[in-house]
Structure 1
Amino acid sequence: MTSVRRARVEVSGSVVGDLSSPERPEPSVFVYRERVPEQSAVSVTMPVSEASYAFDGVHPIFAQNLPEGYLGDIIRKHVAKLYGSGDLTVLATLGRHQVGRVVVTADDFAGMGDEHQGESLGRLLAAKDDSLFEELVEKYALRSGVSGVQPKVLVPASISEKSTLRTEGYIVKTWGDDYPQLAANEYFCMTVAREFGLPVPDFYLSDNGRLFIMSRFDRRPDGSWLGFEDACVLQGLLPEDKYSGSYEKLAKTLSLFLSPQHRREGLRWLFRSVLLSWAVRNGDAHLKNFGLLYCEPFGERWLAPTYDIVSTTPYLKRDVPALTLSGRKVWWPLSYLKNFARQSCGLTTAEVSTDLELLAQKLTEIADQIDSYTTKTPAFTQVGTTMSQTFRASSHEITFGVRPQDI
């Protein structure tokens, strides 16, 4: 089979347009079909129009779910052997199994990867060794249209779980020798996020610490799909540009696209998220880790839950922030973050003080939990000790204005 050069695009199960992607240097072109309603636009950046949309590469709204890293290597190798190469071929192979409501598909790929019926949360949590994740990859890799370098896979929830709709599922992550104990690392960072008042999906750590399991957040309670667009899409950038730009520009972008009734709350959540990444030393808070959700692209739009928060300095001691703030990519003085809160996010001085005080408290509480987990899990000692010291140092800096000696 030759590589896919032309595919259909669906929104919530209805065909809305056609996407052609010849080999570069020719641009990809998307064209809406006739009589497509406004609410079926593929993106807030691409309203329904008679004119075509051309882009140098696959358009950001379609490229946002291209698998990366470990999962991307597996999928691209498999797809190339059977169907040919190219981003459009990968997207057509993934079909319905992507984050959000937009699907790229082609006739020869319809229904691929649907033979498995899902997994129970109990089975995922009871993982005993690496073999379960390897099994999940074998079963679900070709239905895992999700970005990110960390080893991960989209896993549908078992229909036998009484509290779970068939359309729901999980993002399941593991770790390798290059980033040991990353699942527990993310679990504790996300716990801080939740305790700090940020919206987060449900998340879990497997009994053996090998898997971080997070519920998908692109579904409505009735099982219908929500639209999701990350900040790369909103800024017209491809995934490889996720480390470009600044948090100030990100705030402007979100302010532009958030609905008025969600703007103030969303910008406060943005400040809290950037502040949290500073506190835990998360050098991977890039553009693809922020996004919007909506039922209809030009209706109500709100900030997506917080996700992918990890402490990166246990692995990269001299890591720096993913984006600039006040023109600098360093672990900024607290004054930079306060200015960002007031000038870019519109917070009052009282709101900033409240958020700082709350975060300082939660960092210390979760550091205590990390210490307890480390005592029970010796393999976590090196990573956990660094995380605990980092959390306590950030809490100290927030409270007293001075950071203890760097680790």
Structure 2
Amino acid sequence: MAQTSPAPQAIQSLDVFLNALKVGVIVRTPGDFNAFSFDEAYRATGGVPILSLSFRAATGGLRKDPKPVSGALPPFFANLLPEDQLREAMEKHHAGAVRPGNDFDLLAALGADLPGAVRVLPSDGMKVTPQDSAKEKPKARFSLAGVQMKLSVMKNTGKGGGLTLPLDDGQGQYIAKFPSTAFAGVSENEFANLALAAAIGMEVPERELVEKSDFEGIPDDFDTLSEGKVLLLRRFDRGPQGERIHIEDFAQVFGVYPSRKYEGAAYHDVAAAVNAAVSPAAALEFVRRIVLAVVTGNGDMHLKNWSLIYRNDGSTPALAPVYDMLSTIPYIPTDSMALSLGGERSFKALSAPRWKSFANRARLPEPAVLQAVVETVAGVNEHWWHLPERTVVPAKVLERIDAHVKVMTPILNSCAEK
């Protein structure tokens, strides 16, 4: 049985696992430096299963251990943690065990249920708990990257069903994305956009809209004042029996901190990485997904909203299913692309010359990229106007999405011109 520690400072070392395989250790050194080093047995494998492409050397195998970082975790691990509102809620939930703004403390508290197959556990078997732990109720110990209020949840199997948070060592099978007080109908918006992605042949997680009243035992720290539907998504980094499937987002791939998710790379960099690490076909699928974001007005597809997934033995990456696919234009009418495409971010500037520039920078065949643009726009227009899920989207939100699709269709169809 795990021991308990009376204070977060007591834990100085965290073991890093991919499922049951130890891959390395994070040590907190004097002066609040955090150093990660690979386990020698894992290094001897050449880095298989893959923890992150950012750790892979161009010549094969693993790079040297990254340099210690002052006051922060190395980027790969920093990107496993929640941001902004969700981070503040989790820090409040673990007050006494996690000092505000301290990445190491937070990772130690949440490391048992991180995105993908990574687990980060105290090296000596201790568990982060506050000093008055005897009075404490069980804690939620999951981490989901991003800023939106979203929870890792599980379905109750007993009488009455319902949804609840996994506590302590429990593990969620679903992500619940709660409505926003600032953006009306955001759950319905994303639900419809994911349905559109599925309709045009993209890989999309299972999804449904549920009521807030379906949830039980949500701690006050995670409650939102907003009313409306909750979007429930099946976690694609968890298998049917709860097995962990490794994933990494492209902030991790490029080794940049979450604060640089809008500027750490351009779309052609992501496409080139997918082309090299996965396949040319996957790179063109990535192009199709960018086009969907452009035509529907999704200005938030930054580096953390694209991921690779490592199924089976974890040695071969593939594009992860689509996620965070919603239209931002209804809420931010002047919004633009999260990353640069062919040197531009403005939606209306993304005519054929920008896509040709993108193709050349990504080293993808120009005709194939232009064809992917035209075919995706055709698929959107074939399905969007009759999509059953349109009916759940608030009228004003739907009106603005529709107007953007109509504006962008001829601009993107310039790619069909010879």
Q: TM-score, normalised by structure 1?
A: 0.78
CA distance in 1, matches of 2:273, 2:368: 25
1:52 aligns with 2:71: no
For the 8 Å contact 2:209–2:231, the answer to whether it is kept is yes
For the 8 Å contact 2:16–2:119, the answer to whether it is kept is yes
SS of the equivalent of 1:143 reads: coil
1:384 aligns with 2:398: yes
Letter in 2 for 1:252: A
| Aligned residue runs from structure 1 range 7-406, under 5 A | 7-22=14-29, 27-36=33-42, 37=45, 38-40=47-49, 42-46=51-55, 52-56=65-69, 57-85=72-100, 86-106=102-122, 107-109=125-127, 142-158=140-156, 169-206=173-210, 210-220=229-239, 223-244=242-263, 245-258=265-278, 263-295=279-311, 299-331=315-347, 332-336=349-353, 338-339=355-356, 342-343=359-360, 344=362, 346-347=364-365, 349=367, 352-353=370-371, 356-363=374-381, 365-369=383-387, 373=391, 380-398=394-412
Give 2:8's aligned residue. Answer: 2
For the 8 Å contact 2:292–2:376, the answer to whether it is kept is no
Shift of 1:300: 1.8
Shift of 1:314: 0.9
Give 1:129's aligned residue. Answer: none
Distance 1:206 1:341, change over 3 A: farther
Distance 1:22 1:296, change over 3 A: farther
CA distance in 2, matches of 1:23, 1:180: 47
Letter in 2 for 1:42: L
Shift of 1:35: 2.2
SS of the equivalent of 1:293 reads: strand
Give 2:223's aligned residue. Answer: none
Shift of 1:232: 0.8
Shift of 1:219: 3.1
Deviations 1:83-107 (A, max 9, x none): 4341111111112211111111223
CA distance in 1, matches of 2:138, 2:150: 10
CA distance in 1, matches of 2:344, 2:117: 36
For the 8 Å contact 2:115–2:247, the answer to whether it is kept is yes
Distance 1:360 1:100, change over 3 A: same
CA distance in 2, matches of 1:17, 1:366: 47
CA distance in 1, matches of 2:63, 2:380: 52
CA distance in 2, matches of 1:229, 1:193: 21
Shift of 1:158: 4.0
For the 8 Å contact 1:100–1:227, the answer to whether it is kept is yes
Deviations 1:247-287 (A, max 9, x none): 111112222322xxxx1221111101111111111110101
SS of the equivalent of 1:254 reads: helix
CA distance in 2, matches of 1:363, 1:287: 27
Deviations 1:352-389 (A, max 9, x none): 43652453343463244479626xx7xx1221221222
Aligned length: 363
Letter in 2 for 1:19: I
Letter in 2 for 1:9: V
CA distance in 2, matches of 1:296, 1:349: 34
CA distance in 2, matches of 1:353, 1:53: 41
Deviations 1:81-133 (A, max 9, x none): 33434111111111221111111122332799xxxxxxxxxxxxxxxxxxxxx
Distance 1:296 1:354, change over 3 A: closer
CA distance in 2, matches of 1:362, 1:224: 34
CA distance in 2, matches of 1:46, 1:197: 32
Deviations 1:186-239 (A, max 9, x none): 111112211122211112223685111111111345643222111111111111
Shift of 1:75: 0.5
Q: List gaps (5 residues or longer) in structure 1.
A: 113-138, 403-407
CA distance in 2, matches of 1:233, 1:147: 11
CA distance in 2, matches of 1:397, 1:240: 32
Shift of 1:2: 3.3
Shift of 1:169: 0.9
For the 8 Å contact 1:32–1:50, the answer to whether it is kept is no
Query: Which sits farther off after the overlay, 179-188 or 38-47?
Result: 38-47
CA distance in 2, matches of 1:223, 1:17: 23
For the 8 Å contact 1:364–1:392, the answer to whether it is kept is no
Shift of 1:19: 0.1
Q: List gaps (5 residues or longer) in structure 2.
A: 1-6, 131-136, 162-169, 213-227
Shift of 1:337: 5.3
For the 8 Å contact 2:330–2:401, the answer to whether it is kept is yes
CA distance in 1, matches of 2:358, 2:396: 33
For the 8 Å contact 1:292–1:302, the answer to whether it is kept is yes
Shift of 1:33: 2.9
Distance 1:23 1:146, change over 3 A: farther
Distance 1:83 1:400, change over 3 A: closer
Distance 1:49 1:286, change over 3 A: closer
